[in-house]
Chains A and B, each alone.
Chain A
Amino acid sequence: MKHRSSNHAARVTLVALALLFAIPLVWLLLSSFKSQEELVAEPYRLLPREWRFENYRDAVQAMPYLRYLRNSLVLCLGSVTGTLCSCTLAAYAFARLRWPGRDVLFAVLIGTMLLPWHVTMIPRFLLLRELGLYNSLAALIVPTFLAEAFYVFLLRQFFLAIPEELSEAARIDGGSEWAIFTRVILPLSRPALATVALFQFVAAWNDFSGPLLYLSDPDRFPLAYGLEQFVSAYSSQTALLLAAAVLFTLPIVVLFFLAQRTFVEGFRTSGLKG
């Protein structure tokens, strides 16, 4: 009897918490269809009195949305390509090859994950500016071709779990390391590659500090940064801001539902195997 009542209390708490977590998202979505007057007068009202789908059209027209979107996609696809190319190579060297200095360098790799970005921020900025990359999306894409420690670590853990016999068999058949890498390891690592691609896509889509530092020409802004420009300029038009925020969030949420397993597994492995 006592058991059942405590179960009941737990269930009620869970539902109450779930409501608290859901309310901001529900209100974001529904309020984005309200008129500005209604939003100010009765923000607590759930459904709009009048559904203003025009908010979305107005939001897209108020800023160069399509240009921002194009920049975002260039940034995302470019940096996913860079990350996949460079990180798989480094992870292969750390997981499947024997070479002097490997273990020391691996410790260095782990160490770089602890380094706050502020320490490297200024020299990095000046270096990339010196290379003529300032005010170009390339400033944000080129570094991804030089590998990111976290993804190298993630992929290494995955590569380590692939049986060594598979590589040995390929070596006996006269396969080069490159052939083993491309024909044995990579095809077996699709889940890990998907995780890394997904994480990097989302990271690039969301990246705010990168564009803030490196881009000055509004024509080159990706959505995350373009949207922020819109915050102070349109602070009196909350409904439009919310509509723009929905448009910006939606692709990530859709991606999340399409790849929920990859997302959650990715968080789990990145958290647990530390």
Chain B
Amino acid sequence: MSNTRRPLRGRQAAIAIAFAGPWLLGLATLVVYPFCASLYWSFCRYDLLRPPEWIGLDNYRRLAGELVRGDGFGQALFNTLYFALVSVPLSVALGVGVAVLLAGNRRGRAFFRTLFFLPSVVPLVAASILWLWLLDPQEGLINAFLGQLGITGPDWFKSPNVALLPPAWLSGTWGIGSKDALTLMSLWGVGNFMVIYLAALTDVPHELYEAAELDGATPWQRFLNVTLPMLSPVIVFNVVLGLINAVQAFTQVYIVSDGQGEPLGSLRMLSVHLFLSAFKQLDMGYTSAAAWVLFVIIVVVTVLLFRSSRRWVHYAGATR
């Protein structure tokens, strides 16, 4: 019995490995090897012209220095965090808001859903060209419209200001700038998240709302006590996905800043900073170290979010 089973099982394993073969090859060559190589190179000086030369923690020391001074990596990290921490909560709020409005409006729902979803399928390259023009300080639609109302519009992508940073309010240098313009653009593409919320909303049992209504709950109370808890697992998932996307945002940042991260480095996000330091400065060691720091940040944030979410997320049936 065991004699016939073993070759059979071995055969099964061989077949399975053949099926998984292309992925395994990809894993080894395009993930595991690059993963190890970049870790090693993060401790090296490597400019492609000469072979990598071990320099210990120098690259990480340089990163720490830049973090303290707030230039280079430090500035890129600030830019990235500002964009991620402003755009992700806003897009959750807008996505949930639109989904709730859509769920409550049966008439024309399909039409509106299509309309809100459509901007999210516009390719980022085209969307960037479009918003570069819409938000052009002189010739763009939005400032021209504001001008008609007698308002001088902000400089959008051409200004290093930030709108939502408390220290900047106090020093009187606040204003709408490049990262806020980028946020606006990303909010326009919120449709793909919105359909996920909408789908989750239509899965909420109707009895819950009826019970709440019988208890005399106002619409706002029903939203807080029924809708939001029922949506919370999807929200957590979208926040994690949104943060990962925002931290890695490259295409739109590269295009609206003409590949430089300007003005005054205000759009030099991590992804642009890493691209420039690798392929313009040919500083492969430093870039690898920075990429590893970014990776560790992403892992820590993801784990923290999922950990803490256990406390405030409602998983249906989890109480049993």
Q: Is the CB of A248 within 8 A of B12?
A: no
- Is A268 on the interface with B (CB-CB < 8 A)? yes
For chain B, the bracket of interface size reads: 35 or more
Bound CA–CA A86/B25 (angstroms): 11
**Chain A residues positioned under 8 Å from B29 (CB to CB):** 127, 146
Task: Decide yes or no: A89 and B23 within 8 Å by CB, A116-B247, A260-B114 being known contacts.
Answer: yes
* Contact residues of B between 119 and 143, Cβ < 8 Å to A: 119, 121-126, 129-134, 139-141
Taken residue by residue from 23 to 39, chain B's Cβ proximity to chain A (1 for < 8 Å, 0 otherwise) reads as 11111011101110110
Instruction: Please give me the residue from chain A that is nearest to B144 by CB atom.
Output: A43
CB distance from B260 to the nearest CB of A (A): 11
Bound CA–CA A238/B12 (angstroms): 60
Bound CA–CA A27/B29 (angstroms): 46
**Chain A residues positioned under 8 Å from B116 (CB to CB):** 17-18, 21
**Chain A residues positioned under 8 Å from B24 (CB to CB):** 105
- Is A66 on the interface with B (CB-CB < 8 A)? no
- Is A98 on the interface with B (CB-CB < 8 A)? yes
CB distance from A226 to the nearest CB of B (A): 10
Q: Which of B12, B20, B200, B287 contacts A94 (CB 8 A)?
A: B20
**Chain B residues positioned under 8 Å from A143 (CB to CB):** 26, 30
Q: Is the CB of B123 within 8 A of A248?
A: yes
Task: Decide yes or no: A120 and B35 within 8 Å by CB, A17-B101, A21-B116, A99-B12 being known contacts.
Answer: yes
* Contact residues of A between 97 and 137, Cβ < 8 Å to B: 97-100, 102, 105, 108-109, 112, 114-124, 126-127
- Is A63 on the interface with B (CB-CB < 8 A)? no
**Chain B residues positioned under 8 Å from A86 (CB to CB):** 22-23, 26
- Is A6 on the interface with B (CB-CB < 8 A)? yes
Q: Which of B85-93, B168-176, B289-297 contacts A (4 or more CB under 8 A)?
A: B289-297
CB distance from B122 to the nearest CB of A (A): 5
- Is A202 on the interface with B (CB-CB < 8 A)? yes
Taken residue by residue from 254 to 275, chain B's Cβ proximity to chain A (1 for < 8 Å, 0 otherwise) reads as 1100100000000000110011
- Is B244 on the interface with A (CB-CB < 8 A)? yes
Taken residue by residue from 224 to 255, chain B's Cβ proximity to chain A (1 for < 8 Å, 0 otherwise) reads as 00000000001001100100100110110011
- Is A245 on the interface with B (CB-CB < 8 A)? yes
- Is A166 on the interface with B (CB-CB < 8 A)? no
CB distance from B223 to the nearest CB of A (A): 11
Q: Which of B20, B26, B188, B238 contacts A93 (CB 8 A)?
A: B20
Q: Which of A85, A109, A122, A205 contacts B284 (CB 8 A)?
A: A122
- Is B15 on the interface with A (CB-CB < 8 A)? yes
Q: Is the CB of A119 within 8 A of B19?
A: no
CB distance from A216 to the nearest CB of B (A): 11
- Is B288 on the interface with A (CB-CB < 8 A)? yes
- Is B212 on the interface with A (CB-CB < 8 A)? no
Interface centre among B23, B122, B254, B279 (most CB of A within 10 A): B23
Q: Which of A11, A116, A224 contacts B294 (CB 8 A)?
A: A116
- Is B117 on the interface with A (CB-CB < 8 A)? yes
Q: Is the CB of B299 within 8 A of A209?
A: no
**Chain B residues positioned under 8 Å from A89 (CB to CB):** 19-23
Bound CA–CA A51/B206 (angstroms): 51
**Chain B residues positioned under 8 Å from A169 (CB to CB):** none
Bound CA–CA A272/B30 (angstroms): 28
Q: Is the CB of B35 within 8 A of A245?
A: no
**Chain A residues positioned under 8 Å from B290 (CB to CB):** 118
- Is A25 on the interface with B (CB-CB < 8 A)? yes
**Chain B residues positioned under 8 Å from A197 (CB to CB):** none
CB distance from A39 to the nearest CB of B (A): 7
**Chain A residues positioned under 8 Å from B195 (CB to CB):** 264, 267-268
Q: Is the CB of B20 within 8 A of A122?
A: no
* Contact residues of B between 181 and 224, Cβ < 8 Å to A: 188, 191-193, 195-196, 199-200, 219
CB distance from A193 to the nearest CB of B (A): 16
- Is A24 on the interface with B (CB-CB < 8 A)? yes
Q: Beyond A119-B34, A146-B30: 15 further Cβ-contacts under 8 Å?
A: A42-B144, A89-B21, A109-B27, A112-B31, A118-B274, A118-B291, A119-B292, A119-B295, A121-B291, A124-B30, A146-B25, A238-B139, A256-B118, A271-B237, A272-B196
Listed A/B pairs (25) with beta-carbon separation below 8 Å: A7-B104, A14-B102, A24-B134, A39-B139, A43-B139, A43-B140, A85-B22, A89-B23, A90-B22, A90-B23, A115-B31, A116-B291, A118-B274, A118-B290, A146-B22, A206-B125, A208-B124, A209-B251, A249-B123, A252-B121, A256-B118, A267-B195, A271-B234, A272-B196, A272-B199
